[in-house]
Amino acid sequence: MPGQGNSSSSGSSSLCSVQASDGGSWALPAVSAGSSGLPTKSEQVLLCLISSGVATSSPYLAQRAGSWNGCVAQHPLDPGGCALRWNSPEDNKGNWKQRGTFLASMLAGSGAGRGLDARVRGLLPDGADVYVVPVNTDTGSLTSSPDAAGGSSRIRAYTACEGHLRGLQALDYGLYAAPLRWRMVVLVDVAGKGPTSPVGSGVFKLSEAEWLAAATGPTVDGGAPDVLLVAPAGDKSSSVAFPGAFPQVLAVGGYDCEGRPLRSSYSRGSKKQPDILAPGKNIIVPSVLKDGSSLAATKSWEGSAAAAALAAGAAARLWSAFPGCGADMVRAALLSSTPLGSSQPARLNLAAARQFLVDRKC
C-alpha cells in the first residue's frame, strides 16, 4: 500500500478516491499524516522555499499560526538581497508564475474556510514559518536572469536561506537552552542537469558541492547538523536532477494513487534512483489567477516537485517533534521505510519515521 514503504506496484488498495477525514487529498493518508501522532504546526523549524514568488493573498494560505516571509533587496539577514517580490507570483517582466504558490499550499495550506476546497491542505495546516527566496522561473529550471535571487547560481539562493536562519538563531541566542534553536528545511525547486556555477573567485571561489558539504555538516559550535535540503528528482532527464544528485540532498520522486512511480528509472548519474518517493500526482493546489478572480479555484498538479514538497513538510513535522535530533537523523528517519532487501527507494511514511526517532531517543 502506498505510504507503507513496502510496495512498488499498484495492488488492490488504491488511494485514488480516498480523502482525509479532516481535509486534504489522497496524498495525506498515503503518507500516514493523520495517524502519525506528529504536530501539525512547525516549532522553530524554518521552511525555506526556493521557487517562484508566492501569492500569499490566496485564502488557501491563510495560516492559523506561523508566518510567511521572504527575501527582499538589501536586508542585513539576506546577503545580496533579492530583486524579485517574494509575495507575488509576478516576475520582473510581468509574467504570472504559480509554481511557488502550489508548493506553499502543500507545505502549509489550511484547506479551511467557507467555499474553499478542503483538499488543499498541507503537511503543516496549523502553521509553519515559511521563508520564500524568489527565483525567476515557473518551470523548475534555473534561470540565467540576473534579476533572480540565484542568478545563474543556486548557491546565492542557498545563501539567502542560510542567512535568514543564522539571523533567527542570533536573535534567539540566550533565550533557549540547546537544542531548542532554529533549524531549517530547504525545498529547492530549481533543478538542472549539473552542478550550478561556483561563486567568488580565486581562493574565495566556492562550488555547490563545497557549500552543501559545509551547510549540512556539524554546526560551528560542534552541534548536530541543522540544515536539511530537499529537492525534486526531476521528471524528464535520464539522470536524477541536481541538486538532488548530490549525496547531501534528499532527492524525491513521485508516485500516483495506485502506487506506481511517475518515473520508472534514472539510468545515468551517481544516483540511479531518487532517495525516497512521495505522492506526486493529482495533487490539488490553488489556481491563482492574475486578475484576482476565482480566489477559491483549484487545479490538479503533478511531478516530483509536488512529491518533494510533501517530503519537506514531513521533515519539518518530524523535526518539530524531535528538536534534539540533527538533520542527519531526520533524513535517516524519512528513509527508514525502505523495504528490507529491496533496491527500491523508501516511501514517505510519517508514522514509520516518527517511530524511528522514538527508538533513537535523540
Domain membership of residue 299 (yes or no) is yes
CATH of the domain at 193: 3.40.50.200
The whole-number pLDDT of residue 12 equals 35
The span from the CA of 271 to the CA of 240, in Å, is: 6
Domain membership of residue 162 (yes or no) is yes
The whole-number pLDDT of residue 264 equals 65
The total number of structural domains in the chain stands at 1
Q: Is the dihedral of CA 114, 64, 134, 300 positive or negative?
A: negative
DSSP string, 305-356: HHHHHHHHHHHHHHHHH-TTS-HHHHHHHHGGGSPTT--SPEE--HHHHHHH
Domain membership of residue 353 (yes or no) is no
The whole-number pLDDT of residue 149 equals 42
The span from the CA of 255 to the CA of 189, in Å, is: 18
Domain membership of residue 123 (yes or no) is yes
The whole-number pLDDT of residue 330 equals 98
DSSP string, 253-291: EEE-TTS-BSS----BSS-SS-SEEEE-SSEEEE---TT
Domain membership of residue 32 (yes or no) is no
The whole-number pLDDT of residue 2 equals 44
Which residue matches cell numbers 498538479?
A: 301
The whole domain housing 106 covers 39-326
Regarding pTM above 0.95, the answer is no
The whole-number pLDDT of residue 176 equals 55
Domain membership of residue 355 (yes or no) is no
Domain membership of residue 46 (yes or no) is yes
The span from the CA of 295 to the CA of 54, in Å, is: 14
Domain membership of residue 19 (yes or no) is no
The whole-number pLDDT of residue 333 equals 98
Which residue matches cell numbers 539510468?
A: 267
The whole-number pLDDT of residue 207 equals 93
The span from the CA of 106 to the CA of 104, in Å, is: 5
Please list the ranges in the chain whose pLDDT falls under 50: 1-12, 142-151, 179
Cell of 191: 533543478
